[in-house]
Each structure stands twice: as C-alpha cells, then as structure tokens.
Structure 1
Amino acid sequence: MTGEPESLESEALARESPESEAVTTSAEGRDPAAYDLVIRRAHVFDGYRARTGLYDVATRGGEIAAVSAEPLRGAVEVDAAGGWVMPGLIDTHLHFYDVFAVSDPESMRAFEQNELPGRLDAFLRHGVTTIKSVGDPTAEILETRAKIAAGTLRGPRLLATGCGITGRDGHPAATVFSGNPWARARFTGEIDSARQMRDLVRQLADRGVDAIKLLSEGACAHSGSPQYLWHIPAFPEAVELVRLPREFLRAGIETGHERGLRVTVHTTQQAAAREAVEAGADGLEHGVTVEPLTDDSLIDLMLEHDVTYTPTLWAHDASHPDARGNVKKVAEAGVRIALGSDSFSGRGRFGANTLEEAQLMVAAGMTPLQSLVAGTSGAARQCVRADLGTVAPGKRADLILLNADPTQDIGNLRELGMTVLNGEIVHQR
C-alpha cells in the first residue's frame, strides 16, 4: 500500500472493516442524561481512516454510544477544540516484570508493591490503553490482570500469554535468565518433546491466558539447522541457538487452536519464519530481523495464511540493520502489521517506547496511517479483541485525545491531551 495516495490508502483500509460505516451522522438521544462523557468537536481517526469533518464522541457505561456530526450533550463534556480523537493505542508485545530485579519471592513482592503501579500508570500517561504481555511469570501476570479487571489496581487493559514456551536451554531461558534460575522457572516454559508442548499449552489454557507464545529459536535439535547467535546490546553474552523442530511448533499451534487461542511465534530468521507459518502460526513476533528478507514466497505465504507481522523495531532497530527494510517490504506487500514494542526493563520507558515504535515503523517506510492502523484496529485484530481499536458505537470507550493530527505526522501521538479508559478519564493534561 505504500506509494498509493493516502486517500486511496484510507479507502482501502476502510473497506476492510465492517465497522467503518458505523459512525452516526445524526445526534441520537440528545438528553443530557443519555451520555456519561462527550468529547465535543473533534476530528476522528476511527482505527482505519481519518473521517471528514468534526464529530462529537459520546460514551455510556464504558462503551462508545454515539459518534455524531451534530452536537451531543453529556454529564461530562470536554471541548476538543478541533483536536483528534482516536482509539487508545495497543502494544501487543512487551515484557512487564523486571527481569533484572526479580530473583526470589522477596524481590517479586517488592517489584509488585513499589514498581508495578507506576509502570502501569506510565502507559495511560502515554495514551496506551491496552498492553499484551508475552513472556512474564504466569501466576503473577494473571493476578495483575485480575486486579486491573476488578478495579483494585489502576492500569491499562492487560492481556497475557503467561510464560513463553521454548526448547530446553532455549531463548530466553539460556539467554536472559541464564544466571537467574528462580525467574527462569517462572518466566519461561522449557519443553523437550511435542507431548510436553501440548501439555504445557493445555495448562496455560486452563489458567485462562489470552494467547500462546512460542519461541522458534528454542535450542532443540533440528537436523540441518544452522545455529543462530543470539545477542542484543542489553545483555553481554552471546548464545548459540537452533530452531525448534517443526513437530514441536505444530503441536503447540494445533493445541492452542483446539483451545480457541491465537498462537504467535518468536522468529528472527527467514527459515524459522517459514516453518512457523507452515505450522499454522497466526503471527510472527519480530518476523525477520537478522538478515534481509529475500524470500518473496515467504511473503506470499504470510498473505495466504493471513499472518500478522509484529516488527518490534524499538528493541531491534539499532542492532539489526535489515529490520527496517524487511518491515517496508512486508508493508508494501499488504501483510497485516501489529504494533509491538518488545519493551522490557532497563531501557527506555514503558508507554514512551510504544510511541517510539510507531515512529520507527514510519521511519522504516510505512505511512503514518499504516502505523496508526497497526497500533489500533490491526493490533486489536491480532489480539482477537473486536471490541477494541475502533471508534464506533458499541466498542469499548478506550480513547485518546490529541492536540494535533497524527495521520499527517506520527510524532503527534506525543501531543496527548487526554486518555479515556472504559469511558473514564484516567489522564488529562
């Protein structure tokens, strides 16, 4: 789609969505008591395209109740003054617990009491209303999810895979957690066989995870596989890894699908990405980063299988010079892309990293509109949350108000005036 006039690009994205015409053009229910919150006179990016004209956006009971070209009234009214309303951002790939600090029960309790609330609030202060954890300790991240859902802990909507599943001595078990056995046993699930893979996926499904994450460069024997040297600047040691066998991947993906869960796979090499897609993966976490994407048939395969590509440039752009060109190539081919920063402790700031990811995708060659779609409706689709990522009646009222147009300059995501979560103003400048 890159290279098309933006008007044509908007129309193509809008046609993709059944919700694209759901915006009302007349004011229904103008009784002031009808709406809890009304954001008045705003431009609207609805998750697919920028709509023409100014609108009032009204919420009721945590949902978007109306989007009207005519004035609405509500118990609380905010004058957007021509600013921009759009869905709250969704970051589909991050690691929330501090992998550097958590090494025993005492440090885990200290993190949850002293650090966790501030990190959650940071997302809201940057307009991120949904986050997806893809490799945190299962019990703790699910408990955090439950507290947020119950309202006893303030934070963005939290989705979680629980531990990431890898081969014995695979990444991140033998890399990030090589010197931290206590955390290694909680943040990662190491398996030696397809049967163990199936059993672990079933256990996670029984605990109520939102999705499954597998790691392809998982250090299991794979005949003929070249080894991949894992190394990123945040960690001093380089570790040689090989790919998971296809039967392990297929066992995890098939079992996840049997339990109604979307399964995404961590890859970095073209060969690993192909194996994951052929095994039935719904998405590629990182995609291809360590080499240029030269296999056009792999792109065709991603399109054929409707696979989502999550670039995570925030974590990999500096150390992998081919990553940007690969993102540009898949975007131009029309592969679905979701925003995921791969944020982790020790570098950058939660929330701010998500905004940087959106900007890096544009720097890689995507248009601002494509980047916005990746962070809203595209991310919601990757998370199988049709109630998120769109400004339309009946959707969750997770919204942000910006002071400038993000469809023309992606940097305007930083011009945040207000964050709304479940219809409640949770941050306002």
Structure 2
Amino acid sequence: MTISGRLLVWAGLLLAVAVVPSVHAQTVAVVNARIVAGPEAEPISRGALLIRDGRIAAFGDADSVPVPQGMTVLDAGGGTLVAGFWNSHVHLIAPPLDHAAGHADDVLSAALTSAYLRWGFTTVFDIASAPGNAFGLRARIATGTVRGPAILTVDEPFFPKDGVPGYVPDTLGGWSLKQAEVATAAEASARARRQLAQGADGLKIFAGSMVGGEIGVLPMDLDIARAVAVAAHDARKPLFAHPSNTEGMEVAMAAGVDVFAHTTPNIAPWPEAVVRRLVEADIALVPTLALIEVEVRKEGAPAAALERMRENASGQLRAFSAAGGDVLFGTDAGYADVYDTRDELRLMHEAGLDWRQLLASLTSTPAARFGQRARKGRIAEGMDADLVILARDPALGVEAFADVRYTLIGGRVVYAAGPGE
C-alpha cells in the first residue's frame, strides 16, 4: 500500500473511532458476551463483566452479575470476550510511527488504530527501532494525547560489526543502522546498560545477521552476545535474538537468550535434540510464519523455495510446541507491510496449534513471559480491563481472532468496528 493510501485508511479509521462514543466512563458493564477468561477456562455462554477504575471488578454468568444502576453498558452482541492481545514482534519503523516526534497526535492515533488496535492488540513489543523513538511515542500514549496500545521496546538493536542485514535500507526514520553495530563486548555492555537505564524493556541481538553476498549469515561474536545477555538479565529484562541459521542459533543459546524472534526457515526442521535444548533453556519462540511469503515474494524466489521454507518453519513450530515450548504471537508488523493477522493465525493453526494454544500465545503466555502476569493476559477480578470482543467464536475457526468487534484498554473502548468490518 502506498503512503497516500495508508493516510486515507488512517483518516477513515480515526473518523470511525472518533464518532463512536468510546466508553469513557469509569464504570462499565459488558453484557451479552460469551466470556473465555483464559486459555484453559470453560466458556461462559451468557456472561457479563463489570469494570471499575480501569480494572475488572466482577464477571460471570449474567444471572449472577447484576449490572448496577448508572453503569455505562457495552453490548457485546453475543460476541466472545477475551483478554487483550499481545503482538510480541513489531517494529515502529514504518511512517508515520518511525518518526513519531514529527507527527500530530491524531495522525499517530490513526496509524496505531489501523496497525494494532483494530486487530485487538492492547500491548505490543517493539523489538528494534530508531533510538528513543518508542520512548517518546509511548509517553504520548500514556498521557492520553495519542490513542494506542501499551508499548514495550528494546529500542536500538545490536548488530555484529559490519553486520547490518542486507534486506533493510541503510537508514530508517533518519536513523543510520550502521550505528547499531558493536565491535567489542565492552562496547556492547555499555550500550546495553545505557538503553536499559533509559527505559528499554528488553534487548535484541542479531545472533545471525543475514548480510547476504558471499558471507550469507554473519554470526555475532559470542562474547558480545553474552555481554548483552548479562546486561539484560542483570536488569531482569528479556533478550530477543534473530537466529537465522544453525550457527546463529548456537550463538543465541550459548549466550542465554530468552526469545527467538523467528524460526529458521532456511534450514531443515530442528532435530529433536535441538528442540529439547530450546525448551530446557526456557527459550520462547515467535514463529512469524506469514513473513516467509512476504520475503520470498519480495525476492522473486520460485514457488518451490516458498514451499520448502514453509515446511521447514511449520515443522520447527510444530515440534517446539509439541515439546511444551512457549509460543508467542508476533507478525513483524512495521517491517512487513502486512497488519492483518489472519494468515499468521491460519499458518500457526496448520502447524498444530489449536484455538486455546493460539489464545495463550496472544494473551497469557506473553503476559507471563514479560513480567505482567499479575495484571494482564487473562480475565480475572483485579486485572487490567484490557479486553477484546470478537464477533465470532474462535473455537469454530481460529481466524475469528482477527474478527475484532471492540478493543478496550483500561476499560475504555479504543477501537470499534464500523459497518462491514
């Protein structure tokens, strides 16, 4: 989609949200809802949920949860009510989010609505963007001047020396990617600790950087990777890694990373011993399966290459999930110009994840993995009222997770589907 086309979409979405009275009251009752409180919970077929001061005050069968007089009522229309979604792999590098300080509040609100709120994301993890950009954007969201999801960020990534990936432009949003390279462990440690002190919620290394040419994938020096890992873990923050190939995986595992940001579709499905090592090391996986088609199409590779890479990545996810590994939903949105979540949901389901496992990857698993289990990730009394109302039942088809009727953050409607959506 062109930039002018995006602006038209954002403008339309902004208008759609603006004309909905967005439930602004401090006391809200969601009624006529099928409630699924968490991945393991039995659905409440006819439920109600009460919100006070941005938190869940009560929920249950409608007959047991009377709506107090004076509450603002939000009719779910028989839709399915679940906890707010997490997108655990995004990049704030597409206009206008790449240079947030230079844009008005309404422009940013429209872009965030189109990219994330419309798909039910109440929290996103930005795992590499221009230095400081995400900090400023989330500050404006926190004050209420910009409408958007909660943002966690790793801020600037860590590339090996001469290891800027060959598939990204040299500059993004006025930021030179060359400055993200690190040549020594001491340099990496100093920058890692500086970013964390400035407010980063984690760090990201390119354990294997796809530079292309004769080198192909450039592995990160293990001492550098370990220095970044130590800084992250000293601060009790997660370390993400872009593995790319077997050597990159080995660097990442030896360094002690917490999350693989992708599968490795260029290599065969992971052997059982590798899967066991990943699970025993408590490394989570963001599959980003739909990204494969985006990249293969961009490179103009033959259909056979696409099919091979799909099979590799799907097999890796299937084995990892079956072994009990933590799976996190993520789309690489911002780098990939695809925000619709349907393909990712479908591909993850085809790789063996049922609707409950997909719900976990969208809600409870990232909340627990990123230290917010006590506040987010499920429906329970006292939890943040970050909620999604789906028009359909995901148990009858996982693409229903993309059929969002309402998104609420702190009990306030931040997205409402318009006619025909």
**Structure 1 residues 181 and 158: alpha-carbon distance in aligned structure 2, compared to 1, 3 A threshold:** closer
Alignment of structure 1 residues 382-401 onto 2, 5 Å = 382-386=369-373, 387-401=375-389
Partner SS, residue 169 of structure 1: coil
Structure 2: which 5+ residue stretches go unaligned?
1-24, 297-308
Shift of 1:341: 0.5
- Paired with 2:112 and 2:96, the residues of 1 have a C-alpha distance of 18
The code of the aligned residue for 1:83 comes to G
Cα separation, 2, equivalents of 1:55 and 1:238: 60
Matched, 1:264 2:240: yes
Q: How far did residue 308 of structure 1 move?
A: 0.6
Could you tell me how far 1:45 is from its partner in structure 2?
2.1
Equivalent in 395, 403, 406 of residue 407 of structure 1: 395
Given that residues 358 and 372 in structure 1 are in contact (C-alpha distance below 8 angstroms), is that contact kept between their aligned partners in structure 2?
Answer: no
Task: Determine if contact 1:58/1:72 at 8 Å carries over to the other structure.
Answer: no
Deviations 1:199-256 (A, max 9, x none): 11101011011111111114xxxxxxxxx665xxxxxx89733101221111110111
Which residue number in structure 2 is paired with residue 203 of structure 1?
194
Alpha-carbon RMSD across the aligned residues, in angstroms, is 2.7
Tell me if 1:212 matches 2:203: yes
User: Which structure 1 residue ranges, 4+ long, deviate > 6 Å from structure 2?
Assistant: 99-102
Structure 2 residue aligned with 1:72: 66
Aligned-partner Cα distance in 1 for 2:39–2:214? 41
Matched, 1:56 2:44: no
Give CA-to-partner distance per residue, 1:240-298, whole Å, 9 cap, x none.
33101221111110111112211111112233223312321111110322112232222
Structure 1 residues 272-281 or 198-207, which shifts more? 272-281
Residue pair 1:87, 1:399 contacting (<8 A) in 2 also: yes
Q: In the alignment, what sits opposite 2:126?
A: 133
Contact 2:127-2:154 within 8 A present in 1 as well: yes
**What secondary structure does 2:334 align onto?**
coil
* Match among 320, 326, 333 for residue 336 of structure 1: 326
**Normalising by structure 2, what TM-score?**
0.81
Quick check: 1:161 aligned with 2:154?
yes
Whole-Å Cα distance in 2 between the matches of residues 313 and 301 of structure 1?
Answer: 22
Pair 1:178-2:170 in alignment? yes
Native 8 Å contact 1:100 1:345 kept in 2: no
| Per-residue deviation, 1:163 | 0.9
Deviation of 1:329 (Å)? 1.5
**Aligned runs of 1:356-375 on 2, under 5 Å?**
356-375=343-362
Q: Report the number of matched residues.
A: 372
Corresponding residue SS for 2:132: helix
Aligned to 2:111: 119
- Aligned residue identity for 1:344: G
Deviation at 1:363, TM superposition (A): 2.5
Instruction: Choose from 24, 31, 39 the match for 2:30.
Output: 39
1:133 partner amino acid: D
Question: Which residue of 144, 158, 162 corresponds with 2:137?
Answer: 144
Q: Which moved more, 1:257-266 or 1:363-372?
A: 363-372
Change over 3 Å in CA distance of 1:208–1:229 after alignment to 2: closer
Cα distance change on mapping 1:47 and 1:358 into 2, 3 Å? farther
The alignment partner of 1:49 has SS state of coil
2:103 and 2:335 mapped to 1: Cα distance? 12
Cα 1:407–1:184 change in 2 (3 A) is: farther
User: Hey, which of these two has a bigger chunk of helix by percent?
Assistant: 2
Q: Which deviates more from structure 2 when the two are superposed, residues 329-338 or residues 68-77?
A: 68-77
Q: 1:114 to 1:402 in 2, by over 3 A?
A: closer
* 1:9 corresponding residue in structure 2: none
Match of 2:228, SS? helix
User: Structure 1 residues 419, 182: CA separation in 2 closer, same or farther (over 3 Å shift)?
Assistant: closer
Counterpart secondary structure, 1:204: helix
Q: Deviations over 1:22-59 (max 9, x none)?
A: xxxxxxxxxxxx97111124222223234243321111
The 2-side partners of 1:81 and 1:196 are apart by 55
Q: TM-score, normalised by structure 1?
A: 0.79
Residue matched to 1:86:
82
Match of 1:324 among 314, 317, 321: 314
Question: Is contact 1:324-1:364 (8 Å) kept?
Answer: yes
Give, in angstroms, the shift of residue 118 of structure 1.
Answer: 2.1
Does the residue aligned with 2:377 lie in a helix, a strand or coil? coil
Given that 1:162 and 1:204 are in contact with CA atoms closer than 8 Å, whether structure 2 keeps it comes out as yes
Rounded Cα–Cα distance in structure 1 between residues aligned with 2:150 and 2:173: 30
- SS state at 1:342 partner: coil
